[in-house]
Amino acid sequence: MEIERESGWNLHPIGGETGQAYMGIRDEEKVFLKKNSSPFLAALSLEGITPRLMWTKRTGNGDVLTAQEWCNGRTLEESEMTSSNIADILIKIHQSDTLKRLLKRVGGEEVSAVDLLMEYEMNLSIDLENHPVLQEAYKFLLGSLPLGYTQEDIRVCHADISNDNMLLSDDGELYIVDWDTAVLTDYLFDIGQLFARYIDRNDWEKWATKNNLNYTENEKNRILWYAIINLLLDIKYAYRKARYSKMNELILKLNSWLETQP
């Protein structure tokens, strides 16, 4: 493999959607290697949000290879995503002016609610477009675009809050990895995604109170909006991957939410 020759490391692919992540082994040393990761990675490493960045190298074909400290540990179980540790690391990210400034500097995209709707609409299959539950959800989103937030609420968001992206080291440190999706948007987008995927609807207020998250009517409505758009995007993704059981599970969840709306 060309990248092995240029890097000097023996590479072992690590499972993932992009196929660009590897465990690099040389002598007794191990590192986490990735091709073309976000240039934002250095800032995240300095903030202690990802494992330590060791070096970067541009290969002969123009790819950028990054090496991070190998972290012995595990990804979280779905049942662990309700933990206050998740809230703590999200608060750290969302409150960091340094991260916001540096993501802007490297060309981080600013995403609005309308952009999220357009992402859902793009190349939407006719099956999903005509599904009555999804139509009702889309109509709800069109009629309740999140308002009442300021430029100060536009923060760095990971935008793929998943247990697979939460790495708990053997030393008890929690990291968020895989930052290729990072954007600048209303910080409640990440919270809405967390709620949509892991927190029971009846427990949203309790989780917010426990973790000192403002949960006024405004925040409540914004979180619901982001949770619904995230469900729609996850349904679209499951359909594209032919994961129909997962897709139907998400549609049932979405329908139960819509039934409780006035």
212 and 127 inside one domain: yes
Last residue of a domain, one of 70, 89, 107: 70
Task: Spell 3-41 as b/e; 16+ CB within 10 A means b.
Answer: beeebebebeeeeeeeebbbebeeeeebbbbbbebbbbb
pTM of the model: 0.90
Partners of 156 in the β-ladder: 184
Dist. CA 64–CA 88, nearest whole Å: 31
Query: Is 171 among the residues known to form the active site?
Result: no
Angle between helices 132-142 and 217-240 (to 10 degrees): 140
Q: Which of 27, 88, 153, 160 is catalytic?
A: 160
Q: Length of the chain in residues, anyone?
A: 262
Last residue of a domain, one of 20, 51, 70: 70
Last residue of a domain, one of 38, 70, 102: 70
Is the distance from CB of 104 to CB of 208 less than 8 angstroms? no
Which portions of the chain are predicted below pLDDT 70? 1-9, 15-19, 22-23, 36, 60, 262
Expressed in angstroms, the distance from the first to the final Cα of the chain is 58
117 and 221 inside one domain: yes
User: Which pLDDT value is given to residue 29?
Assistant: 76
What's the total number of domains in the chain? 2
191 and 206 inside one domain: yes
pLDDT in tens, 75-122: 999 999 999 999 999 999 999 999 999 999 999 999 999 999 999 999
Burial group, residue 201, by CB count within 10 angstroms (0-12, 13-18, 19+): middle
206 and 242 inside one domain: yes
pLDDT in tens, 114-124: 999 999 999 99
